[in-house]
């Protein structure tokens, strides 16, 4: 027998730590799920849109990598949120600038990769909506 007969604990559960299953331990996991869900649904939507708009098809991996690469300026917004609140006028203006930067850079890469001349603003609008959701998650 591996365990003595006087052992009163449970095998795969912490018996002594009562705060293990408290709601405060799930604080960051909910927002992380929102980020995954938003990015997956957004990539699927942009992928479907680009396949309808372009003459040549585009892979899902290409769309996900472009959208993920152009999400990097949002890191600037989230690091600004560490030092000061973004819920005022300055935070709103900064978020709008970052959203514009992300969406225009993503649409520029897509138009050059898929040879979609003259359609940059048509691609930038849904990208701006997607990056706006990420900015809302960052600000609030």
Q: What is the pLDDT of residue 30?
A: 58
Q: What angle do CA 130, 42, 60 make, to 5 degrees?
A: 130
Alpha carbon 6 to its chain centroid, in Å, reads 50
Residue 69 above 90 pLDDT? Answer: yes
CA dist 111 and 88 (Å) reads: 34
**What are the structure tokens assigned to 101, written together?**
């930067």
pLDDT tens digit sequence for 42-67 = 999 999 999 999 888 899 999 999 99
Three-state secondary structure call for residue 42 = helix
Q: What is the mean pLDDT of the chain?
A: 84
Whole-model pTM: value is 0.76
Domain ranges of the chain: 27-139
The string over 116-126, giving b where at least 16 C-beta atoms fall within 10 Å of a residue's C-beta and e elsewhere, is beebbeebbeb
Q: What is the pLDDT of residues 70-94, one digit of tens each?
A: 999 999 999 988 898 889 999 999 9
């Amino acid at each position: 027998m591996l365990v003595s007969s006087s052992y009163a604990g449970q095998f795969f559960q912490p018996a002594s730590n009562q705060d293990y299953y408290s709601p405060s331990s799930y604080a960051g996991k909910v927002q992380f799920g929102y980020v995954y869900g938003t990015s997956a649904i957004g990539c699927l939507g942009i992928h479907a849109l680009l396949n309808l708009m372009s003459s040549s098809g585009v892979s899902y991996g290409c769309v996900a990598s472009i959208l993920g690469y152009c999400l990097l300026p949002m890191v600037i917004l989230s690091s600004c949120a560490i030092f000061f609140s973004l819920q005022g006028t300055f935070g709103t203006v900064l978020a709008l600038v970052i959203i514009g930067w992300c969406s225009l850079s993503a649409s520029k890469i897509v138009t050059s990769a898929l040879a979609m001349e003259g359609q940059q603003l048509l691609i930038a609008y849904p990208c701006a909506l997607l990056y706006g959701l990420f900015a809302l998650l960052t600000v609030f």
